[in-house]
Structure 1
Amino acid sequence: MSIFEQARALGKDILECEEAQKLYAARESFEKDETAKVLVDQYAKLKDKWTAIMEDKEADKSILTELGEEIMAKEEEIKNHTITFNLMQAESQFGAFVNSVFSLISATVQGEETPQNGSCDPSACSSCSGCH
């Protein structure tokens, strides 16, 4: 099997791992939950408004404090909504898993036994507090 075939097989294996399955389930739940979608849409609009004000040299910057508070309140609302919280957690865990796999590949290519960032174990991502 060529390296490219092995890479494709690894990619397929990653898509079938527990972390990916949790992510798919969380995305499906999110897509079915109108409240979750509205919360994320409202948050995106607030962030867009912030960006527009920051980019406009003529804009009144005094509203940024209030807008920042609105953004933080919306972030808290998103974190407190089970569906969006589960999606964020699943995305984080999947990202950590993929990063640990890439770290292991990188360390191996460099002739190391373990990744440079410590003793990450790709099989322990669910109990990990995140990659460093």
Structure 2
Amino acid sequence: MADCVLRAESTPGQVLYSTLRKIINYIFSLERFDSEKLAKYLRCLLKATLASDPEFPLKIMEDICRLVKQCADTQKPIPSQEVEWFATTAFNHGVDLYGVNEDELSRKWVSHALTLAHYHQDGGDLERELQKRQISLKWDS
């Protein structure tokens, strides 16, 4: 069902978001899949909505941050490569928004990226790199 929704070329962002979200929630309740599988579904949902109304991918990113934080100290944390993908995608999207003078949205995305980078299990390398790059962004006060 999700594949059909993703293949529909004219699906509005809100319909895409709400439909895929319901499918993911339903699958989660039925299968009780682990954090790795959930992260993959959220990655797909984020990729599908990133170019739509900013409200939807931002909601997904907030959920992703919450999930990564919740799973960080468990026996099944979100896989490192997924956290890295989420963090770099959020940062790059924030930079894209910065480039079109969407400063408030840019700040939110970069903030999420830094939050995720903090939980990336690489000894802090990604977090330091993103902080270094954040300094070059000069948002309006």
Scaled by the length of structure 2, the TM-score of the pair is 0.31
Scaled by the length of structure 1, the TM-score of the pair is 0.32
Computing the radius of gyration from Cα coordinates, the structure with the larger value is 1
Greater relative contact order structure (CA < 8 Å, 6+ sep): 1
